[in-house]
């Protein structure tokens, strides 16, 4: 039972990240080759680069898991009666709003976390508050699917769209869970294909 649940969570996260990269092709291209040698991470020693990468992906994984848990809690509390599909829509929209808000807060705090990490490497750096609400240029880049300007922007874009994809995946699964296995799979694929086609056309 535990192995099945762990596998389902892993598949959910993998599909969420894959959809984010599919929907945001400029991000995928940037992460493949554009940022190499151009970001401040390349001023660090290899062990420091690896430590920063582990920290970044651990925090991203934690946030994606937190959003998945949040979706499960909302589904458990808000979907209990005959008006299931109406409540699904309400719960799904509420979940999306909360998840996006949490991601924006995480993006705002990310510079502070990175600064504290750099302080451990460069002790002469002064203690200061560098966290700030995401600016218009960053959000414009993420929401309009433009190429990221830095590795930080790329990670923010990946986290944002992976979160959106994860919420959509969860509630599409909830919506189709009462259908037969074949119909449910077909409907999920059609919905995801339609969303992906729209996103890729927009980008």
Q: Evaluate if residue 49 carries a pLDDT over 70.
A: yes
Indicate yes or no: pTM above 0.85: yes
pLDDT in tens, 84-126: 666 777 888 899 999 999 999 999 999 899 888 888 888 888 8
Measured in whole angstroms, how far is the alpha carbon of residue 145 from the centre of its chain?
A: 14
pLDDT at 160: 94
Q: Provide the domain count of the chain.
A: 1
Query: Mean of the pLDDT values across residues 155-177?
Result: 89
Model confidence at 82, pLDDT cuts 50, 70, 90, reads very low
Residue 176's pLDDT band, with cuts at 50, 70 and 90, is confident
The residue that leads in pLDDT, 18 or 35, is 18
**Closest listed residue to residue 154, CA positions, set 60, 27, 56, 34:** 27
Q: Which domain holds residue 87?
A: 2-202
The four Cα atoms 92, 97, 103, 108 give a dihedral, to 10 degrees, of 180
Q: What pLDDT, on the 0 to 100 scale, is given for residue 60?
A: 93
**What's phi and psi for 130, nearest 5 deg?**
-115, -5
| Contact indicator for 75, 114 with CB cutoff of 8 Å | no
């Amino acid at each position: 039972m535990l192995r099945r649940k762990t596998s389902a969570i892993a598949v959910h996260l993998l599909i969420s990240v894959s959809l984010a990269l599919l929907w945001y092709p400029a991000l995928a291209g940037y992460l493949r080759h554009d940022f190499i040698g151009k970001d401040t991470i390349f001023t660090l020693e290899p062990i420091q680069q690896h430590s920063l990468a582990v920290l970044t992906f651990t925090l991203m994984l934690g946030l994606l898991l937190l959003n998945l848990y949040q979706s499960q809690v909302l589904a458990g509390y808000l979907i209990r009666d005959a008006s299931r599909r109406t409540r699904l829509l309400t719960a799904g929209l509420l979940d999306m709003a909360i998840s996006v808000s949490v991601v924006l807060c995480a993006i705002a705090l990310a510079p502070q976390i990175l600064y504290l990490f750099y302080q451990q490497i460069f002790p002469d750096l002064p203690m200061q508050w560098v966290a700030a609400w995401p600016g218009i240029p960053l959000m414009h880049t993420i929401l309009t699917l433009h190429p990221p300007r830095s590795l930080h922007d790329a990670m923010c874009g990946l986290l944002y769209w992976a979160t959106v994809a994860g919420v959509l995946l969860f509630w599409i699964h909830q919506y189709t869970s009462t259908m037969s296995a074949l119909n449910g799979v077909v409907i999920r694929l059609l919905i995801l294909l339609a969303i992906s086609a729209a996103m890729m056309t927009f980008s």
